[in-house]
Amino acid sequence: MPDQRDPLDPAVVLPRFLSAEGRLMDIPRKHAKLLVVLDRLAQEFELGVTYPEREVVARLTRFHDDHAALRRYLVDEGFLTREDGVYWRTGGTVRLDDV
């Protein structure tokens, strides 16, 4: 029987792009899959907390060396907001234990 899972389900998408160690092997080219990966990265930032740019860089570098691209995607897609070198989470999935 064919796999009936949603191709954009994080359980399907994330293993294709994240290594067993949690490193991002490739940045998805398809926008819908990129959004799934960005949602996962947004989970690294707590709601209601502001982060200096160096902290954002440090967290994103754990996933991929091109932290600048990831940071730009997160801001452009509304997962993070930036003002005066300070970032905070403004999007992504919110789990009940995050609130």
Q: Which domains does the chain show, CATH number per domain? A: 10-98 (1.10.10)
Position 94 scores a pLDDT of 85
Pairwise CA distance, residues 27 & 4, whole Å: 25
Residue pLDDT, tens place only, 1-24:
455 778 888 999 999 999 999 999
Pairwise CA distance, residues 25 & 85, whole Å: 27
Greatest Cα pair distance, the chain, in angstroms, is: 53
For the record, the structure tokens of 11 come out as 């359980």
Position 1 scores a pLDDT of 47
Mean pLDDT per 10-residue run, the chain (99 residues)?
Answer: 73 94 95 96 96 98 97 98 97 76
